[in-house]
């Protein structure tokens, strides 16, 4: 509760955090409402179905962003693609953060041979060139689902989080307050969760944001070369189509520009939230002195 | 209830790149016994890097010695069963050096005290616990209203260190391991802190292992003293004897290093710290190798 009031307080005082949250909320809202919105755009028809409309219509009041090479409504496509991109970000972000945090805490807190084994393993995964391997994996596994792609991307993105958090754990575990907790009969897990974890929230936040963004862009990268999961349209696939069909020369610029703008906004929003939250994590900045 | 802390032949090595043999010996063959009957203050004096804090960590069970044993009530502290461990933790409690780092910056200072209440089952209800906390804060001359509900960065170093003393007051351990508790406090708060520590000794029968580099505080506290140099305990005895008739050259050097609060007496002779540590390395005979522990 106290943390909530503090968060509210911080949001009001940090334009950066407020902007970031507003942008992200808007995109999530868009994603959640995407079925409804797509229905509304279709007006009885399915705007994502092939040949629903004329091909290559330029933006007009009927089709705000025009249509693509198959006669689908680009606005509807972009909206549902945003939902897909956010999903992949959430899936991969959560998986890689959880795995990364667990590995980092076990390695950093336990030390010794446990740390050696885990760090070597993390290091090996870090130096594997991710993208070519993802291409190979996607090409090999035909018709992968969105979730499977998310897992595949997470396999290669958790080591980044693990590496940074581990080094922080190493520095925090020798703090006197950890010693004090130990002489107060706190168990290892309790120390990790109650003493170390709260102080590492900024790093975990950064880890989550970068894994999520990495996954979103990883999927875009796969889609751009035509190797995404089957049956879903994400922002990358729209860009892929735009490049492949020379949409820009046909006057269908929204197919190219809108997904890129959305990705940029998402990137900016996550980063702004992260920087803004620093003030919540750090009690010195909570401004409670006068309360 | 009269359990002793007994160190025998404690040696602590750390891996250190560049050092001879790839390790650094912080403590070598440390043996002494702390007895709670009668309650006393035992000071451990030495310069930075002499291994004082390592001994404190060994005694507190935070660092397992490379060889030798630390025993509580006759049993190795790293091999205690559950009940014995509870008893050991309850009766051997620290005051650490750095009042800034001892609090987790994420939480309010109350948490340290509440944690002691809960972990050691000091109170059965919240009201009882709060009463206990307030009583302990009073005992260390802190106003509960000005401390509770605050974040660590909102308190001064002296206040924070006294919160740690309040924790000791609540727990009433038989042994307090105070690792340079006053080195970061100003002179006035230092005196207050030492007086509280002496009060605790008198009223609650706490025996204190007082680790410091400052002989003037040792003199103030009285009791007995051990002098540690380069990981070895080189001299031990009652404070009066050691201070007035030091037998080891290192003790003499430490005594000479106390600045006199008198402008006319300023630094009559220079102290050659490097020279002494150099000869010690060359293997000068240990003037007073620790004989049978006096303490």
Q: What is the pLDDT of residues A233-255, one digit of tens each?
A: 888 888 888 888 877 787 788 88
Of A176, A198, A289, the CB nearest to B96: A176
pLDDT for B280 equals 42
> pLDDT tens, A148-172?
888 888 888 889 889 888 988 888 8
CA–CA distance, A72 with A49 (Å, rounded to integer): 6
CA–CA distance, A88 with A127 (Å, rounded to integer): 23
Q: Are B102 and A177 a contacting pair at CB < 8 A? A: yes
Res A291 pLDDT > 70: no
Residue B104: closest CA among chain A residues belongs to which residue? A177
Report the sign of the C-alpha dihedral through residues B113, B118, B119, B124, in that order.
positive
pLDDT for B209 equals 94
Q: What is the mean pLDDT of residues B217-229?
A: 90
Q: What is the mean pLDDT of residues A283-289?
A: 51
Query: What phi and psi, each to the nearest 5 degrees, are found at residue B226?
Result: -120, 140
Q: Are B151 and A284 a contacting pair at CB < 8 A? A: yes
pLDDT for B47 equals 84
Mean of per-residue pLDDT scores for chain A: 83
- B113's tokens: 């005290």
Best mutation site among B87, B104, B152 for testing chain A: the one with the most A CBs within 10 Å?
B104
Closest approach of chain A CAs to the CA of B92, in angstroms? 8
Closest approach of chain A CAs to the CA of B160, in angstroms? 13
> Which residues, in sequence order, are bridge partners of residue B212?
B45
Q: What is the mean pLDDT of residues A33-47?
A: 82
Q: Write out chain A residues lying below 8 Å of B115, CB-based.
A: 181, 184, 186
pLDDT for A7 equals 66
pLDDT for B272 equals 59
> Which residues, in sequence order, are bridge partners of residue A206?
none
Q: What is the mean pLDDT of residues A122-132?
A: 87
For helices A74-110 and A197-224, what crossing angle results, to 10°?
A: 140
CA–CA distance, A289 with A77 (Å, rounded to integer): 50
Give the count of beta carbons closer than 10 Å to the beta carbon of residue A275.
17
Q: Helix or strand or coil: residue B173?
A: coil
Of A176, A181, A199, the CB nearest to B106: A199
Res B187 pLDDT > 60: yes
> pLDDT tens, B74-115?
899 999 999 999 999 999 999 998 888 889 888 889 899 999
Res B207 pLDDT > 90: yes
**Domain regions of chain B by residue span:** 5-282
A9, part of any domain? yes
> Which residues, in sequence order, are bridge partners of residue B238?
B224
Give the count of beta carbons closer than 10 Å to the beta carbon of residue B230.
18
Res B283 pLDDT > 90: no
A291, part of any domain? no
Q: Write out chain B residues lying below 8 Å of A185, CB-based.
A: 86, 89, 119-120
Of A177, A183, A289, the CB nearest to B93: A183
CATH number at residue A36: 1.10.3720.10
Q: Write out chain A residues lying below 8 Å of B170, CB-based.
A: none
- A122's tokens: 């993390």
Res B183 pLDDT > 70: yes
Q: Which residues contact B95 (CB under 8 A, 6 or more apart)?
A: B161, B164, B165, B168, B176, B177, B178, B179, B181
Q: Are A289 and B154 a contacting pair at CB < 8 A? A: yes
- Structure confidence at residue A283 as a pLDDT band (50, 70, 90): low
Exposure string of B148-159, with b = 16+ CB inside 10 Å and e = fewer, is bebbbebbeebb
Q: What is the mean pLDDT of residues A194-216?
A: 85
Closest approach of chain B CAs to the CA of A181, in angstroms? 9
Q: For residue B248, what are the CA distances in angstroms to B29, B172, B255?
A: 17, 36, 11
pLDDT for B211 equals 93
Q: Write out chain A residues lying below 8 Å of B72, CB-based.
A: none
Domains of chain A: total: 1
A219, part of any domain? yes
What is the bridge-based pairing of β-strands B92-95 and B175-179? parallel
Q: Write out chain A residues lying below 8 Å of B57, CB-based.
A: 179
Closest approach of chain B CAs to the CA of A14, in angstroms? 20
> pLDDT tens, B31-59?
999 988 888 899 999 888 888 889 999 99
> pLDDT tens, B142-171?
999 988 988 888 898 889 999 999 999 999
Q: Minimal CA–CA distance to B52: which of B247, B168, B209, B255?
A: B209
Q: Write out chain B residues lying below 8 Å of A198, CB-based.
A: 104, 106-107
Are the C-beta atoms of B200 and B173 separated by less than 8 Å? no
Helices (H), A53-196: 74-110, 112-127, 130-140, 146-172, 176-183, 188-190
Res B242 pLDDT > 90: no
> pLDDT tens, A173-197?
888 899 999 999 888 889 988 988 8
Higher pLDDT: B235 or A281? It is B235
Of A177, A182, A288, the CB nearest to B62: A182
Q: Are A180 and B120 a contacting pair at CB < 8 A? A: no
Q: Write out chain B residues lying below 8 Å of A195, CB-based.
A: 104
Mean of per-residue pLDDT scores for chain B: 84
Q: What is the mean pLDDT of residues B209-233?
A: 89
Query: pLDDT exceeding 90 applies to what percent of chain B?
Result: 39
**Fold of domain B5-282:** Rossmann fold (3.40.50)
């Amino acid at each position: 509760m106290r943390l909530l009031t503090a968060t509210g307080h911080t949001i009001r005082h940090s334009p950066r955090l407020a902007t970031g949250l507003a942008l992200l909320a808007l995109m999530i809202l868009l994603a959640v409402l995407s079925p409804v919105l797509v229905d509304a755009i279709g007006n009885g028809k399915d705007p994502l179905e092939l040949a629903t409309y004329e091909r290559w219509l330029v933006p007009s009041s009927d089709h705000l962003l025009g249509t693509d090479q198959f006669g689908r409504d680009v606005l509807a496509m972009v909206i549902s693609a945003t939902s897909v991109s956010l999903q992949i970000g959430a899936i991969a972000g959560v998986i890689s953060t959880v795995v990364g945090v667990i590995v980092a805490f076990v390695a950093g807190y336990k030390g010794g041979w446990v740390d050696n084994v885990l760090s070597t393993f993390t290091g090996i995964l870090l130096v594997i060139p991710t993208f070519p391997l993802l291409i190979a994996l996607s090409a090999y596994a035909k018709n992968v689902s969105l979730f499977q792609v998310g897992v595949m991307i997470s396999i290669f993105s958790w080591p980044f989080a693990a590496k940074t958090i581990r080094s922080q754990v190493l520095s925090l575990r020798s703090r006197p307050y950890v010693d004090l907790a130990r002489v107060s009969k706190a168990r290892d897990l309790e120390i990790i969760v109650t003493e170390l974890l709260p102080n590492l929230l900024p790093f975990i936040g950064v880890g989550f944001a970068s894994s999520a963004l990495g996954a979103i862009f990883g999927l875009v990268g796969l889609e751009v070369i035509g190797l995404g999961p089957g049956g879903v349209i994400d922002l990358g696939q729209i860009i892929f189509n735009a490049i492949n069909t020379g949409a820009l020369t046909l006057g269908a610029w929204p197919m190219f520009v809108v997904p890129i703008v959305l990705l940029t906004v998402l990137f900016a929003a996550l980063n702004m939230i992260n920087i803004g939250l620093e003030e919540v994590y750090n009690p010195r900045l909570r401004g409670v002195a006068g309360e | 209830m009269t359990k002793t802390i007994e160190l025998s032949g404690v040696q602590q090595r750390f891996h250190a790149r560049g050092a001879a043999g790839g390790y650094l010996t912080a403590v070598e063959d440390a043996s002494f016994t702390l007895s709670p009957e009668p309650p006393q203050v035992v000071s451990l004096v030495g310069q930075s890097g002499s291994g004082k804090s390592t001994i404190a960590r060994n005694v507190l069970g935070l660092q397992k010695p490379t060889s030798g044993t630390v025993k509580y009530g006759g049993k190795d502290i790293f091999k205690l069963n559950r009940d014995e461990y509870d008893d050991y933790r309850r009766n051997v409690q620290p005051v650490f050096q750095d009042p800034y780092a001892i609090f987790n910056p994420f939480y309010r200072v109350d948490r340290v005290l509440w944690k002691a209440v809960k972990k050691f089952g000091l109170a059965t209800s919240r009201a009882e616990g709060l009463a206990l906390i307030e009583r302990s804060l009073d005992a260390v001359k802190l106003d509960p209203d000005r401390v509770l509900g605050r974040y660590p960065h909102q308190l001064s170093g002296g206040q924070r260190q006294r919160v740690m003393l309040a924790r000791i007051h609540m727990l009433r351990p038989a042994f307090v391991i105070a690792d340079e508790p006053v080195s970061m406090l100003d002179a006035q708060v230092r005196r207050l802190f030492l007086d509280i520590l002496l009060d605790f000794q008198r009223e609650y029968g706490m025996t204190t292992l007082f680790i410091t580099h400052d002989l003037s505080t040792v003199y103030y506290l009285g009791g007995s003293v051990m002098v540690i140099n380069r990981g070895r305990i080189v001299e031990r005895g009652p404070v009066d004897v050691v201070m007035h008739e030091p037998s080891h050259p290192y003790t003499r050097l430490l005594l000479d290093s106390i600045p006199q609060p008198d402008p006319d007496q300023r630094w009559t002779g220079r102290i050659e710290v490097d020279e002494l540590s150099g000869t010690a390395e060359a293997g000068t005979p240990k003037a007073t190798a620790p004989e049978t522990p006096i303490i």
